């Protein structure tokens, strides 16, 4: 066995979700691949006292190296201790985003993850159940929490892509959660990955009615929303006026996410908005200061912009600010 997340100062998501469901807010799940993103997440969440889920995708693991990421997560715990003072640490979960195999989930558990997602949503229903249950059965010994997914989001998830949504069928959720034993369930209600969630002219609404039906079938069970970036238009505009070409980028309205956060939705995944914030800041420096070539001079402003974005999400969208030590 490798390292146990508890020895790194990390927590699993069980307690976090219990509090989030009863408190009517959602815990942010922010993806990271590099140091600046991690700094921004920890600084923002410490400042507003929000619990946080650090998400690492399979692609991120390949990009940044699994060993380095494990030490970065450990470093994040210690960094939070330094920022918060008084020997306090932020509740931080380290989560595998969109795990696509039993082996990947097992390896992440061995590398100190406190939570894993096994995403069998593209598989036939019974196969999804069997794979998810296999991961749940394995993780129990280590007290690592597991997220499963039912329904298919449109867009791209690592190497898996779908043209259109298959909404989660409320009739399936009792059967799926009972048979698999998952700790939380990602559902498909019209959110999608990336910066192009709706076509121009489409009504950019998610199906809160399906969410309500699902909640009625499994009251209080932790629900997860993927693909929840809002694609802020001011960021899109900065990118496009500084050499970028993002045409018709549209996200999920923050008002709808705020509404969802008050329900049993207790984890909201945001990655693309962070990418936009960083890209906007970097493009601006490149255009305004073309002689600059010290990476700190453009990655620093990108990190600051990212931090502000995350604080805004915690305070105004997810409602998680102030909940870290409640
Ligand atoms: O859902 C996907 C996340 O945004 C991670 O994206 O696979 O490009 O790292 P990635
Ligand atoms: P966005 O692409 O909407 O940020 O979604 C991220 C996500 O769901 C990660 O799993
Ligand atoms: Zn996702």
* HSE-up (13 A, CA, CB side) for residue 126: 0
99 CB less than 6 Å from ligand 2?
no
- What is the pLDDT, as a whole number, of residue 321? 98
Reduced to 3 states (helix: H, G, I; strand: E, B; else coil), residue 296 is helix
- What is the pLDDT, as a whole number, of residue 154? 80
229 CB less than 6 Å from ligand 2?
yes
Residue 94: alpha-carbon gap to chain centroid: 11
Mean pLDDT of the chain: 96
- Residues 153-208: pLDDT tens digits? 986 554 555 667 799 999 999 999 999 999 999 999 999 999 999 999 998 999 99
- What is the pLDDT, as a whole number, of residue 163? 65
* Helix (H) / strand (E) containing 240: helix 233-241
231 CB less than 6 Å from ligand 2?
no
- Give the whole-angstrom CA distance, residue 7 versus residue 4: 6
Closest-CA residue to 119 (of 149, 152, 161, 153): 149
100 CB less than 6 Å from ligand 2?
no
What are the residue ranges in the chain where pLDDT is below 70? 1, 155-163
Ligand 1 binding site (Cβ under 6 Å of any ligand atom): 31, 57, 59-60, 97-98, 157-158, 193, 271
Taking the centre of ligand 1 as the mean of its atom positions, its distance from the CA of residue 86, in whole angstroms, is 35
Active site residue 97: yes
Please state, as a whole number, how many other Cβ atoms lie within 10 Å of the Cβ of residue 109: 25
What is the fold of 5-318?
Answer: TIM Barrel (3.20.20)
- Give the whole-angstrom CA distance, residue 324 versus residue 326: 6
- What is the pLDDT, as a whole number, of residue 160? 53
Q: Which of 28, 29, 31, 155 to mutate to test the pocket of ligand 2 (most atoms within 8 A of CB)?
A: 31
Cβ-proximal residues to 130 (8 Å cutoff; 6+ apart), any chain:
none
> Rg (Cα) of the chain, in Å, rounded?
19
- What is the pLDDT, as a whole number, of residue 165? 77
* Domain chopping of the chain, boundaries: 5-318
232 CB less than 6 Å from ligand 2?
no
Question: CA angle at residue 133 from 129 to 138, to 5 degrees?
Answer: 160
- Give the whole-angstrom CA distance, residue 270 versus residue 293: 30
Closest-CA residue to 194 (of 240, 248, 148): 248
């Amino acid at each position: 066995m490798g390292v146990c997340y508890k020895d790194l100062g990390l927590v699993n998501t069980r307690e976090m979700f219990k509090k989030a469901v009863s408190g009517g807010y959602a815990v942010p799940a922010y993806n990271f691949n590099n140091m600046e993103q991690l700094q921004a997440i920890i600084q923002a969440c410490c400042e507003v006292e929000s619990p946080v889920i650090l998400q690492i995708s399979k692609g991120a693991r390949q990009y940044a190296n699994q060993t380095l990421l494990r030490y970065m997560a450990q470093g994040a715990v210690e960094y939070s201790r330094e920022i918060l003072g008084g020997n306090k640490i932020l509740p931080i979960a380290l989560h595998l985003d969109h795990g696509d195999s039993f082996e990947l989930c097992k390896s992440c558990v061995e590398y100190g993850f406190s939570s894993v997602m096994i995403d069998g949503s593209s598989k036939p229903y019974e196969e999804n159940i069997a794979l998810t249950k296999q991961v749940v059965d394995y993780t129990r010994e280590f007290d690592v929490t597991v997220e499963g997914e039912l329904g298919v989001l449109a867009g791209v998830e690592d190497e898996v892509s779908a043209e259109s949504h298959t909404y989660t069928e409320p009739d399936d959720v009792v059967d799926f959660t009972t048979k698999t034993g998952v700790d939380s369930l990602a559902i498909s209600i019209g959110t999608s990955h990336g910066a192009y969630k709706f076509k121009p002219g489409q009504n950019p609404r998610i199906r809160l009615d399906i969410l309500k039906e699902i909640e009625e079938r499994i009251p209080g069970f932790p629900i997860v929303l993927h693909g929840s970036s809002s694609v802020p238009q001011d960021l899109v505009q900065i990118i496009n006026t500084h050499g970028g070409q993002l045409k018709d980028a549209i996200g999920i309205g923050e008002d709808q996410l705020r509404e969802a956060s008050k329900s049993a939705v207790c984890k909201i995944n945001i990655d693309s908005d962070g990418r936009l914030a960083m890209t906007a800041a970097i493009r601006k420096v490149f255009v305004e200061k073309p002689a600059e070539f010290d990476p700190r001079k453009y990655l620093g402003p990108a990190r600051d912009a990212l931090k502000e974005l995350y604080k805004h999400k915690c305070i105004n969208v997810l409602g998680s600010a102030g909940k870290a030590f409640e």
